[in-house]
Every structure is written in structure tokens, then in C-alpha cells.
């Protein structure tokens, strides 16, 4: 298992799902998972759209900043 950019990266290792949610928005399905592996905990957001899957991983140490950025954007559009 290696770390690139400060986030856990899966290289054949197993991660355990701690909490999970699934959203259907327009033609996309989003999977939001809090996971844990031997490196630590992280949020994984995966998008499934037109049979293509894209994933973003945010280390737990960056989760608060990520949530603040989302809230700032949401406040700006309301």
C-alpha cells in the first residue's frame, strides 16, 4: 500500500466499509462510502454514469475542509 498525495491508495489491499449511502441523481448513481484500510480512514465517492465509474478519495484528515468547501458552494447557489 502506498500513499500518494496524502490519501490512502488501494494496491491489492482490502478496505472495510464503515458507512455507506447511495444516491440517484438524473442519469447518475453516486456511492458515498466511509472506508478504512491499514493506512487509515477515508471517504470514497464513486460515480456510475453510462457504465463508466469515476472515484474520488478524500482522507479523513481532509473531510472537514471538503465539507466546508461544499457548504460554501451550496450557500452561494441558494
pLDDT, tens digit, 9 for 90 and up, residues 1-39: 344 445 455 455 799 999 999 999 998 999 999 999 999
The reported pLDDT for the residue numbered 18 is: 97
The reported pLDDT for the residue numbered 63 is: 96
- Phi, psi of 45, deg, nearest 5: -115, 120
Beta-carbon contacts of residue 78 (< 8 Å; ≥ 6 apart): none
Domain boundaries, the chain: 2-77
Give the architecture-level CATH label for domain 2-77: 2-Layer Sandwich (3.30)
The reported pLDDT for the residue numbered 51 is: 85
When the pLDDT of each residue in the chain is averaged and rounded to a whole number, the result is: 87
The CA radius of gyration of the chain, in Å to the nearest whole number, is: 14
The residue that leads in pLDDT, 9 or 71, is 71
8, with CB counted inside 10 A (0-12, 13-18, 19+), is buried
Q: Identify the CA nearest to 45 among candidates 58, 27, 32, 64.
A: 32
The reported pLDDT for the residue numbered 49 is: 84
Compute CA 27 distance to the chain's CA centroid, rounded to the nearest angstrom: 19
Amino acid at each position: 500500500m502506498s500513499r500518494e498525495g496524502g490519501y490512502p491508495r488501494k494496491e491489492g489491499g482490502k478496505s472495510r466499509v464503515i458507512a455507506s449511502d447511495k444516491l440517484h441523481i438524473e442519469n447518475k448513481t453516486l456511492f458515498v462510502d466511509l472506508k478504512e484500510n491499514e493506512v487509515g480512514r477515508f471517504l470514497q465517492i464513486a460515480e456510475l454514469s453510462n457504465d463508466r465509474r469515476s472515484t474520488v478519495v478524500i482522507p479523513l484528515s481532509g473531510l472537514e475542509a471538503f465539507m466546508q468547501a461544499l457548504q460554501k458552494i451550496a450557500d452561494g447557489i441558494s
